[in-house]
Amino acid sequence: MNDLPQTRLAVTPLRFDPAFEQIPDDEAHTSKELADTLRSIMETTFNDSGHANRSVHAKAHGLLRGQVTVLDNLPAELRQGAFSKPATMPVFLRFSTNPGDILDDKVSTPRGQAIKIVGVDGPRLPGSEGDVTQDFVMQNAKAFTSATPKAFLATLKLLAKTTDKAPGLKKALSAVLRGVESTIESMGGESGTLKSLGGHPQTHILGESFSTVVPILYGPYYAKLAMVPVSASLTALTGLHVDFADNPDGLRAAVTEYFIQHSGSWELRIQLATDIEKMPIEDASVQWSEELSPYVTVARIDVDAQPAWDDEKVRAIDDAMAFSPWHGLQAHRPLGGVMRVRKPSYEMSSDFRASHNGCPIREPR
């Protein structure tokens, strides 16, 4: 038994129907352009630094080992895929921010979080056969900034042009944008583009909640997955402004300082879709109503105190691992255009890193 609260399903989940996915004729072309643009970012940063970084989410702020415990009292609808039976499995966590350059943390941008669960059973996704991992790749948001791959390509092309350009200018721009963003937020709005350019509030990354933003299969249903801090020492950090002083790696320092002394716990929560119109698959920009379908807890992640950043972890997790929504079980197949085009881009990015860093990337067993 574990001490997590009993979960009860208050909604009737909608069964996934293949007709919910609609592939535009030009998707393959968009997908190739996305991968080419991301590769150009990697080439630029590789030429500068001699190290192949991820084409986006290049900078990691914490690399952690922990364990995930699947609740043993789940209703049948929630017992799917990686969560189909009570179990405790090893998990790796990588916290990041979204640019493809390694910037001063004062250029404050949206945050990413990727987890890799080791030891799941079941039929595997294409390209992921023979492995035993399940990745969930998340952002601290509940919907994607762009509705479609094509819309995202337009934004990415703009961001790609800023790769490598005048880091000092980005820092100054970020400070201005944070002010503009907080004005927009005080008026009840939010701008994904401003946040991506450095307008994200300078908060502690460990206080953030993350979600897959876009849907995945959940057995016969479809859903979004979230990771939410629940231990008191983590929730105390939510929304907390962190003063980085002059440290360009202020977020990493904050994560390291926390995990020297503290452990941390998060819950993994599932939001099952109940309505294809209100919870669409092909429009990634729609935030699904939590009134119509609240997130329910399916598992807990526990991380003990540990060094959150050291050479061994940089080699083993940052360089020798790739996190992708396409590493995992068919029961959690990524859904919708944004998810479909991620597959070749993530493969391109991890292949580039493996070949240019002379560091094979393998799934842990």
Instruction: Give the binding-site size for ligand HEM (rule: CB under 6 A).
Output: 29
Binds ligand HEM (CB under 6 A): choice among 120, 138, 225, 298: 138
Binds ligand HEM (CB under 6 A): choice among 14, 16, 41, 55: 55
Binds ligand HEM (CB under 6 A): choice among 83, 144, 258, 309: 144
Binds ligand HEM (CB under 6 A): choice among 57, 61, 269, 327: 57
Q: Which of the ranges 54-62, 65-73, 164-172, 285-293 carries the binding residues for ligand HEM, by CB under 6 A? A: 54-62
Contacts to ligand HEM from residues 237-266, by CB under 6 A: none
Rounded CA-CA distance 14/254 in Å is 41
Q: Which of the ranges 18-26, 76-84, 178-186, 208-216 carries the binding residues for ligand HEM, by CB under 6 A? A: 208-216
In the complex, least distance from residue 64 CB atom to ligand HEM, rounded to whole angstroms:
12
| Chain residue whose CB lies nearest ligand HEM | 112
63 binds ligand HEM (CB under 6 A): no
- 74/346 with CB nearer ligand HEM: 346
322 binds ligand HEM (CB under 6 A): yes
In the complex, least distance from residue 209 CB atom to ligand HEM, rounded to whole angstroms:
12
In the complex, least distance from residue 141 CB atom to ligand HEM, rounded to whole angstroms:
8
Q: Would strands 59-70 and 216-218 be described as parallel, antiparallel, or unpaired?
A: unpaired
The dihedral over CA atoms of 333, 335, 340, 341, expressed in degrees to the nearest 10, equals -130
Write the CB contacts of 161 (distance below 8 Å, at least 6 apart in sequence).
none
User: Tokens at residue 205, please?
Assistant: 């990354």
- 55/80 with CB nearer ligand HEM: 55
140 binds ligand HEM (CB under 6 A): no
Residue 353 CB neighbours (<10 A): 23
| DSSP per-residue letters across 286-317 | PPPPTTTS--EEEEEEEE-S--SS-HHHIIII
- 262/356 with CB nearer ligand HEM: 356
214 binds ligand HEM (CB under 6 A): yes
Residue closest to 224 by CA, chosen among 266, 268, 282: 268
Structure letter (DSSP) for residue 335: -
In the complex, least distance from residue 222 CB atom to ligand HEM, rounded to whole angstroms:
15
346 binds ligand HEM (CB under 6 A): yes
Contacting residues toward ligand HEM, per CB under 6 A: 34, 38, 54-57, 94, 96, 112, 114, 137-139, 144, 149, 152, 212-214, 322-323, 338, 341-342, 345-346, 349-350, 353
